[in-house]
């Protein structure tokens, strides 16, 4: 019996040494002593953390100079995404007026919107290998208001409804008429190119065939009397909405 007790006591002593003594004698780096769990002085440790520079700021800081973008962002689906999630740290930009490099890559958008099995089906997500033909997402979507200028999606199922105009036309003798088409149908045979799911939009709409560098106002050339006039049903549209449907080739 005494032998068993001796063994049990030795095991307990060994466990005590491993759990409580060994961590105290293992050398640790200076960073762990200053900022980690091996605190020499708790008050000094807190002061060191408090003295670290703040790299990331609240999104409200951006509103001082970027009121238009901030106002759009506040009302958009991206209002829960902090400005710095896309633009990076703003400290140098605010304090030293250092320009921020805007990341326009598809990869950045794919961080949230790449189709992933574990994401809820209701969350906006697309197959990044097929969506948009490789064009930058910002060609069609404004990051500050991603749904701005986009045509409304079809609010009902499309089963057995291949001809949209069988209902959406002014001549149907129905008691309650569905909304009529508010534009002409000249040259438009595929309603879902604009009004389908985001993955279908723009599949048959003409692409911009030239570079957009230095050309911010499409209406300079593309107006009713311009070099290449736009269709009559485009009257009233501004350059701000052109790239929502017409992607750059």
- Mean of pLDDT over the chain: 77
Instruction: Answer with the residue of higher pLDDT: 149 or 230.
Output: 230
- Collapsing DSSP to helix, strand or coil, 145 comes out as strand
Q: Where are the domains of the chain?
A: 29-103, 126-152+188-249
d(C-alpha 198, C-alpha 244), whole Å: 11
Average pLDDT over residues 200-208: 63
Q: Is the pLDDT of residue 174 over 60?
A: no
20 pLDDT band (50/70/90 cuts)? Answer: confident
Q: What is the model's pTM? A: 0.44
Backbone conformation region of residue 53, classed left if phi is above 0, alpha if psi is from -120 to 50, else beta: beta
CA 190 to CA 194: how far, in whole Å?
Answer: 8
Q: Which helix (H) or strand (E) holds 87?
A: helix 83-87
CB 193 within 8 A of CB 185: no
pLDDT score of 152 more than 80: no
């Amino acid at each position: 019996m005494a032998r068993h007790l001796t063994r049990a006591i030795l095991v307990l002593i060994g466990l005590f040494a491993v759990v409580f003594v060994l961590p105290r004698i293992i050398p640790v780096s200076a960073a762990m002593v200053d900022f980690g769990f091996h605190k020499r002085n708790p008050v000094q440790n807190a002061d060191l953390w408090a003295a670290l520079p703040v790299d990331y700021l609240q999104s409200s800081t951006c509103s001082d100079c970027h009121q238009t973008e901030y106002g759009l962002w506040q009302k958009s689906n991206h209002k829960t995404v902090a400005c710095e999630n896309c633009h990076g740290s703003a400290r140098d930009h605010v304090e030293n007026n250092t320009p921020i490099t805007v990341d326009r890559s598809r990869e950045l958008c794919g961080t949230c919107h790449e189709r992933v099995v574990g994401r809820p089906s209701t969350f906006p997500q697309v197959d990044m290998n097929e969506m948009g033909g490789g064009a930058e997402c910002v060609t069609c979507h404004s990051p500050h208001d991603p749904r701005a200028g986009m045509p409304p999606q079809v609010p009902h199922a499309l089963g057995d409804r291949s001809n949209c105009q069988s209902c959406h036309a002014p001549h149907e003798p129905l008691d309650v008429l569905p909304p009529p088409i508010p534009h002409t149908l000249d040259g438009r045979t595929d309603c879902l190119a604009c009004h389908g799911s985001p993955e279908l939009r723009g599949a048959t709409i003409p692409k911009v065939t030239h570079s957009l560098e230095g050309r911010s106002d499409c209406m300079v050339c593309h107006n009713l009397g311009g070099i290449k006039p736009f269709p009559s049903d485009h009257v009233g549209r501004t350059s701000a909405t052109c790239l929502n449907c017409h992607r750059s080739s």
